[in-house]
Amino acid sequence: MRRVAWALAGLALAAGCSAGGGGAVEGGVHDAVYEIGLDLPPGCPPDAGNTLGVGTPCTRGGHECKGNTLCTCDNFLGVQLVGVPCYCTLAQLAQPGATDPCGPPLSPTFCGPGASCCPYQTAAAYCVPNICLPGGMCPDTGP
């Protein structure tokens, strides 16, 4: 779960987020709410996911994603994204010493067909359905 939170936080930062005020209180802990403004391409989110489940529609708080996938709209370890399309994704922290979290030792088929691995700087990797990539490219996550 920790790797998921970091990757989702990375997704928030990668997409040009601005931290929202306060946050909801859940179990006595303040959640970090990241508001994201995305200009989504037509067809995003997709109607269905790929063979690994990346792109499968999901709902906020529904925990509908199967296997290792997680919903971009679910709250994980106090991180809540707002303004993103709700679909299942895969995410992981980069391997120690890796300069490209989407490169080796991560399998080139990590995201499955019709999806791309997007890095958050050198810290994490997450999968995006190709239909949701603005201009066909992962968001720039440079400092």
3-state secondary structure 62-118: CCCCCCCCEECCCCECCEEEECCCCEEECEEECCCCCCCCCCCCCCCCCCCCCEEEE
pLDDT of residue 75: 76
Place of tokens 């810290």: 123
138/116: higher pLDDT:
116
142/98: higher pLDDT:
98
120/71: higher pLDDT:
71
Q: Where are the domains of the chain?
A: 2-19+41-133
4/74: higher pLDDT:
74
User: How far out from the chain centre does Cα 140 lie?
Assistant: 14
DSSP state of 53: -
> Distance between CA 134 and CA 98 in Å, rounded?
26
pLDDT of residue 19: 35
Q: What is the tens place of the pLDDT at every residue in 62-108?
A: 888 998 898 988 876 566 667 778 899 998 888 888 888 898 888 88
> Distance between CA 80 and CA 78 in Å, rounded?
6
Is pLDDT of 1 > 60? Answer: no
Is pLDDT of 116 > 90? Answer: yes
> Distance between CA 130 and CA 67 in Å, rounded?
21
Report pTM.
0.72
pLDDT of residue 110: 92
Cβ neighbours for 92, distance < 8 A, ≥ 6 positions apart: 3, 7, 101, 106, 124, 125
Q: What is the tens place of the pLDDT at every residue in 14-56?
A: 333 333 333 443 444 445 555 555 667 888 889 999 999 999 9
Confidence class for position 112, pLDDT limits 50, 70, 90? very high
